[in-house]
Each structure stands twice: as structure tokens, then as C-alpha cells.
Structure 1
Amino acid sequence: MAIATMTTPLPISFFPILLLIPAVCFTICHANSNLLCIQSEREALLKFKHHLIDPSNRLSSWVEGGDCCEWTGVVCHNSTGHVNKLHLAAPLSEPDGFATNAEMEAYYNSRLGGKINPSLLELKHLSSLDLSYNDFNSIHIPKFFGLLESLTYLNLSRAQFQGAIPHILANLSKLQYLDLGGNDLKSKSLQWVSGLSSLQYLDLSSADLSEATDWVQVTFKLPSLLELHLSGCGLNNDPSPTSVNSTKSLVVLHLSGNSLSSVPKWIFSLHGLVSIDLSYNFLEGSIPDYFGNISFLEVLDLNWNHLNSSIPNSLYSLNRLQFLSLGNNQLQGTISSAIGNLSSVTQLDLSVNQLNDQIPLSIGELSSLKLFDVSKNQLNGQIPLSIGQLTSLEKFDVSENQLNGQIPLSIGELSSLKLFDVSKNQLNGQIPWSIGQLSSLKLFDVSENQLNGTFPLSLGRLESLETLDCGYNLLEGVVSETHFSNLTRLTTLAASHNRLRFEPNSSWIPPFQCERIELGNWHLGPKFPQWLKFQKKLSYLDISCAGISDVMPTWFLNLPTQFKHLNLSSNQLRGEISYLNVRNIVDLSSNRFIGPLPRVFPTLPFLILSNNSFSGSLFELLCNSSSEKGMEVLYIDKNLISGDIPDCWNHWQRLILLNLGSNNLTGKIPPSLWHLNLKMLNLRNNTMFGELPSTLQNSPNLIMFDLSENHFSGSVPAWIGDKLSKLVILSLRSNNFDGHIPHKICDLQFLQNLDLAHNNISGVIPKMF
């Protein structure tokens, strides 16, 4: 769950360019309501509208005879009445991955499309044109845009344009702001940019500039350029040494997502830089010391590279720095106590490196810090007590290190804290009671440590909490309803593998609607937990090893939610199950379920029903549909399944692990089974018979092959040594095989377990053994 975003912020000290960017608005009225727009311009706009596709009728105010200065997105000059701004950016931002279908549909309908009519050329006084975030369905940028000579602002970003960037745009000598980012564009040279002598802001992100080797020489000759955004452009290292005037005006340089293997040296001549983004490149070696000379620097993003040095001391002198991201590299060494000098830093990301030693106490001096992420390193020692001084802190992530000691009581002072993640360390002691003071906390993850003591009652006061994960610890004692009394926003409750006992009143109705509940190894029984009846959004449930000895309730199988993951294993649940509405993983192993095998979702990848009393045939499960099955793992061993194995495996092409051992299966292995790309086949302890068919050679990826304790006969084929070369376990024990042990078995170089005992095999044991 993202609590604090890691997007590079606009430097707060950099304001000149903001004056150039018009505010996006969608109903803009003329300042002088008595002044009508020019008739020729009104007609030009109507022609422009006629060729647009407008699914949401955004331009409904654009009607014949109306005052175009009152139309949506149109701005007229307040004295002449000429149209000088046209702001038609899509009004809705792109939805995230959690958007509903209705939100997605509203977004797509809000975007304009179609063609762009040259009638815009009639708007002789047009200074600002914004068509960003629309959908022009891969048309080219119209060349006539280069004839709109009054333009100072042109924004076509993320509007689904494609093709070559028209070089005629070089005619726009008054242009101060040009954003073509996020389209599918290409330019073999940037020489055309040199004509934009007034340009202050240039964004060509996502354009293919891999052949534009002149990008440095051209852009750095623009006398007024303040911001340069060339992210994801396929740029390589500059082949020629380039000298850059140290008085250059550039303040923002974003080159993320390219193929740079070293930091361009000319960057260090740009002493006025405020923001540098070189993330998602292939930078190697050391972080250059020269960054410390760029004294105005507020944003430095070197995330996702291959840098492998220590953190240079020069970085700690950048007292204006607000955003520092060095994550996802191979940085080594320690975090210096000099980090306390970064008095302005608000976001500090050193995650996914190889940093060691302790987190310095001086971290408490970063009074403006909002995000501190050192996860996935090799840090040791204790969490410094000084973190209690970070009253602005919103995200604290030290997960996946080697930290020890206790969680300090001082975390209760972090009144702004939203995310606290110390998982996968070696912390001990109790969860501090002061946790209950964190009224803004949304995520609390202390899983996979050695915490002991009880589940603190103060957790029940965290009204903002959405994710609670304290699994895989040594917590013990009784958990009551009071522990959850105010957790109305809880969506994830994960606390498996502790020594906790939950005994709510049978009529308890939880205050939360969880999507994920993991209470494996809790004591929840002996009755099936009635309170789960009220969880209408549940998609992940693990109540394995929970001491439940009860009939599976009908209401649980009829819950309106569709599970993604259901683990009820290692209880004493009983009864029949006709259908399982689960998409990804089902584990009902080690219970006492009876009756026919349940029907399952056609694309279910993992089904584990081992160690129950399911009976009947395999036919309904395997053959009830001709559609492609999504199953990858199928375990039905240790049940009472009887009859032949049906010959309908042609639709199970994804299956790799199949365990049907310890049932009452009879007959031969069906031919269609050998059309699968199996890695494991276990049919042990049944009453099957027949010889090993030559079609078994079609399963070259078998790692485990177990036919023991059946009635198979014939000789052990020599081709096993050639065709099943990946075998690690081969067990043919307690069958009726005869003949000699083939020498070819000696060629199985990965073989660790070979069991041919209790057969009729004769002859000499191969010397290679």
C-alpha cells in the first residue's frame, strides 16, 4: 500500500516557469461580459469542433450564435475580444489500478478525439493551446501547428499522437512552453529545437530520440531554457565531449529511463540546477563527488541504477536538498552521521542496497523528514530512539534488514506517521503501548521478527489503520473484541504464526470489512468463526491450524465474495463441499471432508485437497468442461478416490505438479497424461497396473516420478536415462517390474533418490551406483 509517493516533486524554490503554465479550467468566462468574441473566430472554433469526437459532450456550450468567449475552454483577451487561449485538456486524471469500471468509462469518455481542423489558423491571436490527456488515436501532430506564430504555450502531452515530430514547429519563435511528452513520437535530430529561441520549458519524454545524437548540443544552446525533460527517450552516452557554459540558466534536468551508463560530466557545469533525475538508467561505478558542488540542488534522483560505491560525503553538505533517492542500486558502506546536515530533506530513499552498520542517531535532526526508507539493506543495531523527534515523519520503512533490540516507545511521538514497517528483522520485546497514539497510522507491519508479549489493547484505538501485520512472531495470550473496537477502516488483518487465542462473543459483529485475513495457527475453535459471516469483501482467508472442529457452515460457502486465496488446512472441518468460488489458491488439506470432489473455478491454478475423505471418481473434476483449465498444481492424495484415471487431460496443459497418491485408483495411466509438461507425478499407493508406456518420453521435465505400491509390471525402460534426464526422485518400489536395472539410469546426473525395492528385478547392480 503506497502511503507516500516517490515521484520527483517540483522544486519549491523554482517558480518562474509556473507563471507560464495556465491553470487548467473548463468553464472560463470573459472578464468583460459585454464583449462578444470575433465572428470569424467563432466560426473557426465551430469548424474545429465539427471534426472532434466528444463522447461526454464536453463542448456542449459551443453552439452557433453563442458568445465563444463564454464557451468551455475558451479564453478571450479582456479588451480586444480575440481568442487567445484554448484549454481543452481532458478534465479527469487517469485512474489507478483500483478504479471501478464506471470510473474507467468516465475517464475514457472525457477525452476528446477525432481530427484537428486547420481552422485553428484563423485564431491569429492564439497564444496558448492545451490538448493534453486526450485521445487522438495515433494521428500525427498537425504540421499547421508550426504556423500558429503567436503561440507561447503548446501542450500536447499524453494525447496519443504518433509519428515524426514536425520540424516546422521550429517556426514558433515566441514559444516558451512545449510539452509533447507521453506520446509515441520520433525525431532523428533535434536541430529543429534550435529555432525555439524563447523556449523556457521543453518536455519530449517518451519520444524516440535514439538517433538524435545532437540532443546535448542543441538543447544547451537555447538561451532561456529552464526545464528539460527527456525521460524514456532512448538516449545513450553523449559520444562527444561537450562543454556547457557555467552560466547556463537550466534549473530542472530530467533524463530518467534512458540508457546512460555514466553521469554526463557537463551536468557539473550547471551550477544553477535545482532538480536532477537520472533514475532508471544504467549508471555504473561511483556516485560522483561533484554533486556536492551544485549548492542549489533540491532534488536528486539516482534510483534504479547500478551504482556500487559508498555514499559520498559531499552529498551530506547539500543543505537545500529536499528529495534524495539512491534506492535500488548496489551501494555499500555506512550511512554517515553527517546525514543530520540535510536539514531540508523531506524524502530520503536508500532502499534496496547493501548498506551496513547502524542507522545513525543524527537521523533525529532531520526535522522536515516525511519519508525515510532504508528497507532491504544489511543494517544492524537498534532503531535509534531519536526517531521520536521526527514529528513530520509519514513513512518509516526499515524492513528486511538485520535490526535488533526493541521498538522504541518514542514512536508514539510521531503524530504524522502513516506507515510503519519494520518487518523481516530480528526485533524482540513487546509491541509498545504507545502505538495507540498514532492517530494517522494506516499501515503497521512488524511481521517476521521475534516480538513477544501480548497483543496490545492500544491497537484498538487506531481509527485510521488499514493494514495490521504482526505475523510470524512470538506473541501470546488472549485477543478480545476490544483489540478491534475502533478499527473501522481495517482491510488487512495478518497475524499468522503466533500463539494467540481469539474468543469473541458468538454474536460479535466486527467493525471492519477486511479484504485479507491471515490468522493461521491462532486458536479460533472449536466452532467455525461466526464473525466471518459479516466480511462481505473478503478475498484472502487463512485460518489454517486454528483448532476448528466443526461442520463447514453453508453460509460460508455462500458468501457473496469471490476468494482469491482460501486456506482452511489442518483443522477438523467436516461435511461436503459442492463448489468452491476461489480464483487462485485453495488449500483444504488435513481435514475430514467427505463426498464427491468439489467443482472449482475453471482457471483455478492451485487446488490442494490432500488428507481428507473425499470419495467417488475424478471424472467430474477433470472432464466436466471442454474449456482450457488453468490448473498448475493438483493434490488429491490421501483420500478415498476410486475408479480409473479419466483420459481427458488434453485441456490441462498448464499442469506441472500432480499428486493422486494413496487413493483407490485402478486401471492404467491414461495416454493423454503424457501430453502434459509435468514436473511431478505421484501415483503411489493405489491399485493401478500396466507397463510404462513409451509416450512417457514426452515428459522430459519430470523431476519427481513415483509409482510405488501399485501393480505396474514389465521392465524398467532404458530410455529413462536419456529422456527423463532431469529426474531427482524415481520410485518404482513395491510393484511387479522385472528384468535388469538398465545401465542408462546411471546417466541421470541429478538423481538423488532411486527406489526399486520389492519388485522382481534381477541381475547385477550397475557399478556406477
Structure 2
Amino acid sequence: MMTILTTQISLLLLLLLSITTFYKSSCSNHTVVGCNEKDRETLLTFKKGINDTLGRILTWSTEIDCCAWEGVHCENITGRVTKLDLTGKSNFDNEPFLKGEMNLCILELEFLSYLDLSSNDFDVIRFPSIQHNLTHSSNLFHLDLSPFRYHDHGPLHMDNLGWLSPHSSLKYLDLSGIHLHKETNWLQIVNTLPSLLELQLSHCNLNNFPSVEYLNLSLLVTLDLSLNNFTSHLPDGFFNLTKDLTYLDLSQSNIYGEIPSSLLNLQNLRDLYLSYNQLQESIPEEIGQLAHIQQLDLSENQLQGSIPSTLGNLSSLNYLSIGSNNFSGEISNLHFSKLSSLDHLDLRNSDFVIQIDLDWVPPFQLSHLSLRNTYQGPNFPSWIYTQKTLQYLDISSAGISLVDRKKFLNLIERIPVELYLSNNSIAEDISNLSLIGYVVRLDHNNFTGGLPNILSFAYGIDLSYNSFSGSIPHSWKNLEYLFYINLWSNRLSGEVLVNLSDWRQLQFMNLGENEFSGTIPLNIPQYLEVVILRGNQFEGSIPTQLFNLTNLFHLDLAHNKLSGSITECIYNLTHMVTSNFVDEWNNAPIELFTKGQDYVYEIEPDRRTIDFSANNLSGKVPLELFRLVKVQTLNLSHNNFIGTIPKTIGGMKNMESLDFSNNKLCGEIPQSMSLLTFLGYLNLSYNNFDGKIPIATQLQSFNASSYIGNPKLCGAPLNNCTTEEENPGNTENEDDESIRESLYLGMGVGFAVGFWGICGSMFLIRKWRHAYFRLVDRVGDYLYVTLIVKLNSFR
């Protein structure tokens, strides 16, 4: 009985406990409060200055609880805002979400612990006055205000960092991309943040290192001061500020001097980037003591001496870049004997002697290798054949002429990202290969046979200056991502692919100096900016579609068999009319023929060129051509053009090289050509120009060869004109003298006729004669009386 009673009591207690728990749970669910009114007002104040281009904060409406707004996170029980995340990093269209004013009133949110406004495009930062005198203790531990990397309106400015002082709980701070050049005590202010673990001040235009005395950043583990302008040595004690630093980036900060010895105190360092500075002297031997280092970049400096052998002790190293320095001495496989984790190796642009054993098998498998401008030849380095995971290989300009054919072909066929073998002397037939790289550059070698197959996702192809023959493989039709193709100076033939329009992304096309034939395809990729078809056997007319490429700024069709006339549609080449630049180009060389010679230069989108020379083109040169006012090189020579040069040519004030020679142009050279003040090369020879060469310093600065072959053309600098032609002003003087003589003669005759007409009448007519004598008597009497009166008055 007692047992049953006990059981019943236990069940009753369990039931009561369950009811209580359920009640509390129910009460808890109903006590969740909405957004705090004060926080909501602060958020709305922040919203006022924002230009929300993509509708990111459309949900920020008074009709919706602010805890449900985009990017806003609240504490469930209190309804206080604890996190605001409006970063634009999730925007895959590479367009900033928010623009306008960044109002830091947002820091007045009392319980805010996380604020990320990064990757937006604010143009001004506003500091409310209350921000300098916060009445509550800041809970903020994460703050990221770094702007979108590409500004339409210039950099975002911040005059000082004093507003940071109240936020002593900060652990993560990123102000990268905000200009702080007026803040000279940035390091001392950072020192007031004792909890700071990560500091990002990249690209802040910092220009000085303040004193590091009495500073202590003992908890700091990540420091990024890259892309600044310190123009100084690093202070000796800088690396004594913290012992726990694991990540340090000082690249591109204009730092000079030697690598400070205090750097070696950072025993926990894993990532060190000092590239693109002006560091001198040698790499300290003690660098081998950084046992945990994984990424080391000392490239693009002025470091000297030999590579220390202790570098080979860094067994954790997976990224090593020491190229583009002034190193000397030798580097051998002993330097890499313990680097079993190495994945990225960059030794480019180095003069040291590489002594690698022929049978050496490295302890690592690289994904990235750059030996550009380091002498390796004449044999291709055999140890590279052992690298099965290479994705990027650059062994350009390395003096290589001999390869192990089977191993070499197997190697280059498996490079999936970028393959650079430029400027060597490799002579192999690779027509049976299928290259899979996004970028393939095999230019300036001696490759023979047909072109290799290229997989459809290729981005850039440069096979220029080789001995490839045959036609473009039909499989190339599928290169829908192709941006750049250069086949200059080979022995390629056949008709160019009719369906060039399948290369929808193509912007650079150089097929020059080959043996291509047929007509220029009508279906041309619409984004083309450079078209070079020079030195082939193309025939037929220039398709109108070519003149509808609004981005085109370099067009070279010279030395073909083209015929017909130039249409008025040429004015549709609007990039040759306006100043708008096209995309930035990276190391894409053009064979430019201008100023009577040819030379190679890197593509510059602000340079415009048209070359139709050495074809069979005819008809008048359309006036619309001379409206392309941004053109700097224009060559229409060795054709059959007729007509005159219009006066509007004077509007092409950017012209530097002009060649109309060997045509059938006629008429006078317009005076407006004297306005072409940048003209450095002019050739109007062998046409039918007549009249006098306009007198202008610019036009007389060229020698006679610019004008010869025009029999009716006169004036300096030609010396084949007669004296009368050379001095046309004398004829004008003679004409003026003749006119003056006629005028004087006429006046004399008129005077004589008038004089004798009056006097003769007086002598012949008696009444006139008597009247004349009476008039003379009266005048005489009047003068006598007047004289006597005057004399009496003097007396």
C-alpha cells in the first residue's frame, strides 16, 4: 500500500513538473519582444544617407519589425540589436550594394557587438558628435568598414582614428581602403585597443611609422599594412610589439633598408609578405629559425648576395617567392632538400646560377612554378618532368632548345591553368596535342607542324613567331570563352573560320603575317577591340560589319588584296571618336607599323590606329574617316584612292603618323593640316597634289621625300619649283604696282581736264572773264583795308 501511494505521489509530482515546464515554455515563447525603439530610430537615421542601388535594405520599413530587417540581428529576449551585417562580399555581380553616406551613428547601438559594412561604395563617413562621448560601455568586438575596391568617386577619407578609443573590446578591425594620411598617431591609437587580435590597414595611404616605444600589442596575431607609402625603414623595435604574430603583410609599402633582425623574434610567424618594396642587403641566415613559416614572399626588392642555405630548413614552407631581386651566387637542389611541403615556387628574373643534379627528384610536388628569365638551358630541366600536379608553369626566356620529347609533350599537355614557354628555341611538332590550359603562350619558339587542339574553356592563346602551318583546326570553333588570340608570323593558310562569331568574348585578334586567304568573315565578334589581319591574302571588300565594332581602337588590314571602297559606316568606330577607354590590358604586345617603321609596344587602350595600306582599295576617302578625331596613326598608302583631302582633317589633332602616299589623290593640301601639331611622320608622295604647300612650321619640318612625286606641287621643302612659283608674292607686288600706276595716271588726267576746262572757259567767254577780274579786285581791296586797320590798331 505504501509502495502504491509513493508511486502515485511520484506520478503527481512528475505531472506538476511537466505542467510547470510547459507553462514556462509557453510564457517564454510569448515574452519574446520586438525591436527596441531606440535601436530602430538609430537604424533609420543610418538609412537616411544611404543610396541603396540594388534594393538591399528595402525591408527596412516601419511596417516590419526591425529585427527582421535585412542584415539586422537581435537578441531574442531583449530585442536589442547585437549584429549588423551589410557586407557586399556576397554580391557575385561585383557591384557594391550601398552607396552614399556611412553614418557612424550606428555605433551608438548599446549592445552592438558585430558591425560589417565592407565591400560597399560609400563616398563619405559621418561622425555624430555623440560618438566621441559614448555613455555606455562598448561591446563591439568585430568592426569592418573596408570599402569596395573600385571606387567611382575616389577614395574614402577619414581624418583621424580618435573615435576608436571607446571600443576597447575590439578584437577584429579592418579599415583597409580608407585613406588615413592625416592620422599621424595611428599606431598609438591602435595601442589603446588591448584586446585586438587582427588589424587590417591595407591601402590606407599611411605615410609614417610613429614611435614604437611604450607600445604593447601582445595579443595581435594578424597585421596587414600593405599598399601604404611609409618611405622609411621599419623601426628596429617594431617586431617586438607582439610575440604571437602569425600573419604579417607589408608588401608594396615603399619600405627600404635591410630586413630588421627583430623580425626573427616572431617565432610563431606563418605568413610573411614583404614583396614590392626597396629592401636591400641580404636575407639573414637566421631566417631558418622561423620554424613555422608557411608562406614567404620577398620578391620584387633589391636584395643581394647569395640565397642562405638555412632557407632549406623551413620544412613547413609551402609558398616561396624570392624572384626579381639582385641575388648572385648559386642555388642548388640542397636549398630545397627539406622543403617537402612546397607547393608554390617563384624564382623569376634572377641572375644566380642554378645547379640542379640531372637525376634530382624533388621532395615536393608543385602546383605553381615560375622560372621566367632565369637561365636553365640548353636542356629543359629534367626535375620539372617529375612534377605531376603543376597547374601553372612559366619557364619563358630560359635559353631552352632541347627537350625530352615524350616527357615534354606529356608535361605541357597536363598543365590545366597557365602555360608559358615564350622566348625559347624549342622545335617540336605538337599538332597531335590537346592543350587544356586557360592561358597558353608558346610564342617566339620554333614549333612546327599544325596547330594543336585547344580545349573549349581557353581564355588566351599566343602561338606567334613560330613555324606552324596548315589551317586553323575546326575544333577551335568551340572556343566560346576566348579573349585573346595571337597567331602572328607563322605559315598558316586556308580560310579563316566563317563562324568567328562563336568566339563571343574575343577582344584581341592578331592573325597577321600568315597566308590566310578568302574574304574577311562577315560574322565578327562584337566586343573586338584589336583586329590585325596584316600581311595575308584576304580579298574582296572590307565588310561593313567591321566598322560597327564600337570598341575597336586598333585596325590593321594592310598588305592584303582587298578591293572596293571605304564605306561611310567607318564613323561607327565610336571608340576612335570619344575619349572613353576600354578594358585594361595585361602585357599584350602589338606589332605597330607607324612613322615609317615597325616596332612592338604593349597595348594601350588610349592609342588608336587604322592601317589599310598596300591593298587595291579605290574610290574617294569618305569624309566620315576624318571625323575619327582620336586616331593617332592613319595609313592609306599604296592604294587607288582618288579625290581631295578635306579641310576637316585639321580636326584630327591627335594625329602622329599620316601616310597617303602612292594613291591618286589630287587638289591642294588644305591649310588646316598645319593644325596637326603632334604630327611626327608625314608622307604625301606620289599623288596628284597641286598648288603650294601651306606655310606652317609643322609641314615645313618634313623633308622633300614627304612630298615628291607630285609634279604640280610647289613650296618648301620642295626644290623643283621655279622662282616665280617659289615667290608667288612677287606677282602680287607687280599687280599692286600696276594698279597704283593706273590710279596716279587717272588722277593726273582728271586734274588736267578739270583745270583747263575752267581756265579755258574764262579766257574764251567774255562775261566769265570780266566777272573773274571784278572778283579779284574786290578780294584785293578787302585785303588792303583789313591790313591798314590792323596796323593802326597796333600803333
TM-score (norm 2): 0.72
Matched, 1:557 2:527: no
Contact (CA 8 Å) 1:666, 1:686: kept in 2 or not?
Answer: yes
Matched, 1:470 2:471: no
Contact (CA 8 Å) 2:102, 2:122: kept in 1 or not?
Answer: yes
Amino acid aligned to 1:149: S
Change (3 A) 1:355 1:688: farther
What displacement does 1:289 show? 3.7
Looking at structure 2, the residues matched to 423 and 632 of structure 1 have their Cα atoms a distance apart, in angstroms, of: 33
What displacement does 1:686 show? 2.4
Looking at structure 2, the residues matched to 570 and 376 of structure 1 have their Cα atoms a distance apart, in angstroms, of: 34
Change (3 A) 1:355 1:33: farther
Q: Secondary structure at the match of 1:339?
A: helix
Looking at structure 2, the residues matched to 561 and 470 of structure 1 have their Cα atoms a distance apart, in angstroms, of: 27
Deviations 1:609-648 (A, max 9, x none): 221111122234534x4xx522111111112222322221
Amino acid aligned to 1:255: L
Deviations 1:526-548 (A, max 9, x none): 44445746433332222223223
Partner of 2:43: 48
Q: Secondary structure at the match of 1:674?
A: helix
What displacement does 1:303 show? 1.8
**Bigger helix fraction:** 2
What displacement does 1:186 show? 0.8
Looking at structure 2, the residues matched to 67 and 35 of structure 1 have their Cα atoms a distance apart, in angstroms, of: 16
Matched, 1:155 2:172: no
Contact (CA 8 Å) 1:37, 1:68: kept in 2 or not?
Answer: no
Contact (CA 8 Å) 2:138, 2:168: kept in 1 or not?
Answer: no
Greater C-alpha Rg: 2
Contact (CA 8 Å) 2:398, 2:424: kept in 1 or not?
Answer: yes
Deviations 1:37-81 (A, max 9, x none): 434615742773484555555456666676655554333335x33
User: Residue 524 of structure 1 is aligned with which of 492, 515, 522?
Assistant: 492
Q: Secondary structure at the match of 2:303?
A: coil
Partner of 2:559: 590
Q: Secondary structure at the match of 1:603?
A: helix
Partner of 2:619: 616
Q: Which runs of 5 or more structure 2 residues have no equivalent in the other structure?
A: 1-26, 150-154, 577-607, 727-795
User: Residue 87 of structure 2 is aligned with which of 81, 85, 90?
Assistant: 90
Contact (CA 8 Å) 1:642, 1:663: kept in 2 or not?
Answer: yes
Moved more, 209-218 or 702-711: 702-711
What displacement does 1:247 show? 8.3
Matched, 1:400 2:373: yes
Looking at structure 2, the residues matched to 33 and 439 of structure 1 have their Cα atoms a distance apart, in angstroms, of: 62
Contact (CA 8 Å) 1:412, 1:438: kept in 2 or not?
Answer: no
User: Residue 219 of structure 2 is aligned with which of 234, 243, 249?
Assistant: 249
Q: Which has the higher contact order (CA 8 A, sep 6+)?
A: 1
Deviations 1:119-150 (A, max 9, x none): 985x5434334344445552413344553534
Change (3 A) 1:309 1:689: farther
Contact (CA 8 Å) 1:546, 1:571: kept in 2 or not?
Answer: yes
What is the Cα-based RMSD across aligned positions, in Å? 3.9
Q: Which runs of 5 or more structure 1 residues have no equivalent in the other structure?
A: 1-31, 96-102, 162-181, 718-731, 742-769
What displacement does 1:558 show? 2.9
Deviations 1:453-503 (A, max 9, x none): 21163x41x54x211111110111234xxx427x12122222111112235
Change (3 A) 1:712 1:326: farther
Matched, 1:186 2:155: no
Contact (CA 8 Å) 1:324, 1:349: kept in 2 or not?
Answer: yes
Contact (CA 8 Å) 2:279, 2:302: kept in 1 or not?
Answer: yes
Q: Secondary structure at the match of 1:340?
A: helix
Amino acid aligned to 2:420: D
Amino acid aligned to 1:372: L
Partner of 1:667: 667
Change (3 A) 1:703 1:680: farther
Q: How many residues align?
A: 645
What displacement does 1:695 show? 2.1
**1:487-502 matches, cutoff 5 A:** 487-502=455-470
Change (3 A) 1:386 1:197: farther
Change (3 A) 1:688 1:55: closer
Change (3 A) 1:380 1:134: same
Amino acid aligned to 2:195: S
Partner of 1:752: none
Looking at structure 1, the residues matched to 41 and 610 of structure 2 have their Cα atoms a distance apart, in angstroms, of: 61
Q: Secondary structure at the match of 2:36?
A: helix
Change (3 A) 1:41 1:489: same
Contact (CA 8 Å) 2:191, 2:216: kept in 1 or not?
Answer: no
Deviations 1:342-394 (A, max 9, x none): 22223222233333455532336433333222323335557776896475532
Looking at structure 1, the residues matched to 292 and 703 of structure 2 have their Cα atoms a distance apart, in angstroms, of: 59
Sequence identity percentage: 27
Deviations 1:159-195 (A, max 9, x none): 599xxxxxxxxxxxxxxxxxxxx842112xx566555
Matched, 1:319 2:291: yes
Change (3 A) 1:560 1:193: closer
Partner of 2:418: 443
Partner of 1:27: none
Partner of 1:685: 686
Contact (CA 8 Å) 2:104, 2:125: kept in 1 or not?
Answer: no
Looking at structure 2, the residues matched to 606 and 712 of structure 1 have their Cα atoms a distance apart, in angstroms, of: 31
Change (3 A) 1:521 1:288: same
Change (3 A) 1:334 1:449: farther
Matched, 1:707 2:703: no
Moved more, 631-640 or 691-700: 691-700
